[in-house]
Amino acid sequence: MACLSPSQLQKFQQDGFLVLEGFLSAEECVAMQQRIGEIVAEMDVPLHCRTEFSTQEEEQLRAQGSTDYFLSSGDKIRFFFEKGVFDEKGNFLVPPEKSINKIGHALHAHDPVFKSITHSFKVQQPHFGGEVSPHQDASFLYTEPLGRVLGVWIAVEDATLENGCLWFIPGSHTSGVSRRMVRAPVGSAPGTSFLGSEPARDNSLFVPTPVQRGALVLIHGEVVHKSKQNLSDRSRQAYTFHLMEASGTTWSPENWLQPTAELPFPQLYT
């Protein structure tokens, strides 16, 4: 795919996000769906590691910040679940394939299907350094200077108003970061804490962004976004990863996600 046009680049800089419809083919989306089906069919998550994924602050600190399963997932393929899918003993109340909220955080490195998409020529563009509550990606992926992280969100299935498409506050990427999730010193509990807090935001400022399967949404690290609960009878699968402009950028040592000896942050251009 060619680089972004001047008008596309201007719109991204103005709004903090940009939709590129038809980025992947239907065949590429089906390949990702089939591979996820295979991965989920083979998953074996011990009872004590069955963690619900959340972006709500209190739930994050309780469910994710207190478990090594989440904090050490940066170089592994691990499974995080929807709310209410386990009984009090950790057994599934729903079919396991319908229980997944998120698979993370190293599909891009360890799975050949997702690695090929992540490092495809389409993604290597020049000129770019359940319900998800309103947030900024830079709260979790903080850099100095700011503005060096770019989210890449690919719709593997249609994302509609009914099944939980993304919502953005256009232009909200210009006001800095309101809170940060930081990793606690080794051996401390809980494993993470928050600095600052999310301000109350007027829901009328959010703009829905429904897209068709195969669309790519570029997300500035500081733009405020969310998705609503999927109230439909259809799933809404998406593949997302983040890019960082490495030159002249410091990745905060306080971020929960850290490169490891087993998996340093891979370069996009290999």
Q: Give residue-wise pLDDT tens across range 235-244.
A: 899 999 999 9
How confident is the model at residue 16, as a pLDDT?
97
Q: Does the structure show a pLDDT above 90 at 188?
A: no
Segment 39-57, tens digit of pLDDT: 999 998 877 677 666 556 5
Q: Tell me if 261 is assigned to some domain.
A: no
Cis peptide leading into 105, omega within 30 of 0? yes
Number of structural domains the chain divides into: 1
Q: Is residue 62 part of a domain?
A: yes
Q: What is the pLDDT of residue 33?
A: 94
| Lookup result for tokens 């992947």 | 24
Instruction: Give the structural domain span for 247.
Output: 6-251
* pLDDT above 90: percentage of residues in the chain: 56
Q: How big is the chain, counted in residues?
A: 270
Report if residue 220 sits inside a domain: yes
At residue 231, the pLDDT reads 86
Q: How far apart are CA 140 and CA 26, in angstroms?
A: 31
CATH number for the domain including 216?
2.60.120.620
Residue 143 has pLDDT above 70, yes or no: yes
pLDDT of residue 185: 83
Instruction: Give the residue with greater pLDDT, 86 vs 62.
Output: 86
Domain assignment present for residue 36? The answer is yes
Domain presence at residue 184: yes
Contact 175, 223 (CB under 8 A): no
What does each C-alpha distance from 63 to 21, 50, 125, 158 come to in angstroms? 35, 9, 36, 30
Task: Work out the average pLDDT over 70-94.
Answer: 85
Please report which confidence band the pLDDT of residue 128 belongs to, taking 50, 70 and 90 as the band edges: very low
> DSSP for 218-262?
EEETT--EEE----SSS---EEEEEEE--TT-EE-TTSS----SS
d(CA 6, CA 22): 19
What would the mean pLDDT of 85-89 be, rounded to a whole number? 85
Among 253, 216, 199, 230, CA closest to 4: 216
Distances (CA, A) of 17 to 98, 108, 177, 190, 204: 30, 22, 16, 33, 18
Is 119 domain-assigned?
A: yes
pLDDT band for position 139 (cuts 50, 70, 90): very high
In a domain, 265, yes or no: no
112 falls within a domain = yes
